[in-house]
């Protein structure tokens, strides 16, 4: 588990169509990216967009940064605003890729703000629990920052997997609240995840408890992963 490299990040200026939904209603803007990486993009927007707003992006993203639709002319992806520069316009805005689908609850409240479990949460929020299945899968674990900064990665293995997350071994200096990505070494499974907990076992090996970010897309991908390894879920 010693193989490591920097997450690829480029200062690319790509045309992008951004669609959002604020309190005033839906909006659309054509602008450019300022940075692109595996985890997301930085955008130059004419409006200030708050942290937690969901955006839909359409852009000619290079294949090296895509998780699907590698041959499509325009890459369409849902993203979550994680930070923004208060000085503008233009306002530099960092958005994290979510995937093909928006987060759960977006359809019912498209103007709502969506946060990670490590962010300040509304009172009364209840964590969700899913059954975990023992499963050893070789994956590439990569550190990501909330938008475009990256870090090293490694080849490691999962120890168990659920529809909502996984537990993996690691030698990387990862902290609770960080964002990481998983990529099955010899299979199609891909997922972005939040580090919920970091703990060292009796064998002196560090484990990460991960929560997948895109529940709708992630659950379908996990079911396929489990099915390919002979595990049936309800």
Which CATH number characterizes residue 140's domain? 2.40.10.220
Residue 95 within any structural domain of the chain: yes
Distances (CA, A) of 91 to 32, 59, 110, 114, 169: 12, 19, 22, 20, 39
Provide the 8-state DSSP code for 186: T
| Confidence tier at 23 by pLDDT (50, 70, 90) | confident
Taking only the tens place, the pLDDT of each residue in 63-114 is 888 888 988 999 999 998 888 888 878 999 999 888 888 887 788 888 887 7
Residue 119 within any structural domain of the chain: no
pLDDT at residue 220, as a whole number: 81
The span from the CA of 34 to the CA of 88, in Å, is: 15
Residue 140 within any structural domain of the chain: yes
Residue 1's nearest CA partner among 190, 208, 213 is 208
Q: Are 171 and 223 members of one domain? A: yes
Q: Are 23 and 86 members of one domain? A: yes
Q: Are 93 and 143 members of one domain? A: no
Q: Are 16 and 61 members of one domain? A: yes
Q: For the chain, what is the mean pLDDT? A: 81
Residue 109 within any structural domain of the chain: no
Residue 125 confidence (pLDDT) above 90 = no
Domain enclosing residue 193, as ranges: 133-228
User: What is the 3 state secondary structure string of 112-148?
Assistant: CCCCCCCCCCCCCCCCCCCCCEECCCEEEEEEECCCC
Give the residues across from 17 on adjacent strands: 30, 58
This prediction has a pTM of 0.58
* Number of domains the chain is built from: 2
Could you tell me the two tokens for 211?
């929560």
Residue 110 within any structural domain of the chain: no
Could you tell me the two tokens for 209?
């408890």
């Amino acid at each position: 588990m010693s193989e490591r490299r920097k997450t690829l990040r480029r200062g690319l200026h790509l045309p992008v169509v951004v669609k959002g939904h604020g309190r005033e209603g839906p909006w659309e803007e054509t602008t450019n990216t300022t940075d692109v990486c595996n985890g997301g993009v930085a955008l130059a927007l004419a409006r200030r967009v708050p942290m937690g707003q969901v955006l839909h992006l359409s852009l000619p993203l290079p294949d090296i940064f895509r998780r699907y639709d590698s041959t499509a002319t325009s890459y369409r992806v849902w993203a979550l605003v994680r930070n923004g520069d208060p000085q503008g316009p233009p306002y530099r805005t960092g958005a994290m890729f979510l995937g093909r689908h928006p987060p759960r609850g977006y359809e019912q409240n498209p103007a709502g703000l969506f946060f990670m479990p490590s962010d300040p949460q509304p009172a009364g929020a209840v964590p969700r629990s899913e059954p975990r299945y023992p499963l050893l899968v070789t994956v590439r674990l990569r550190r990501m920052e909330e938008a475009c900064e990256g870090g090293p990665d490694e080849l490691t293995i999962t120890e168990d997997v659920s529809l909502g997350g996984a537990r993996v071994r690691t030698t990387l200096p990862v902290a609770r609240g960080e964002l990481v990505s998983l990529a099955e070494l010899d299979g199609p499974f891909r997922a972005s995840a939040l580090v919920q907990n970091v703990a060292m076992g009796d064998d002196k090996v560090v484990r990460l408890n991960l929560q997948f970010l895109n529940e709708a897309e992630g659950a379908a991908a996990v079911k396929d992963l489990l099915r390919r390894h002979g595990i049936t879920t309800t």
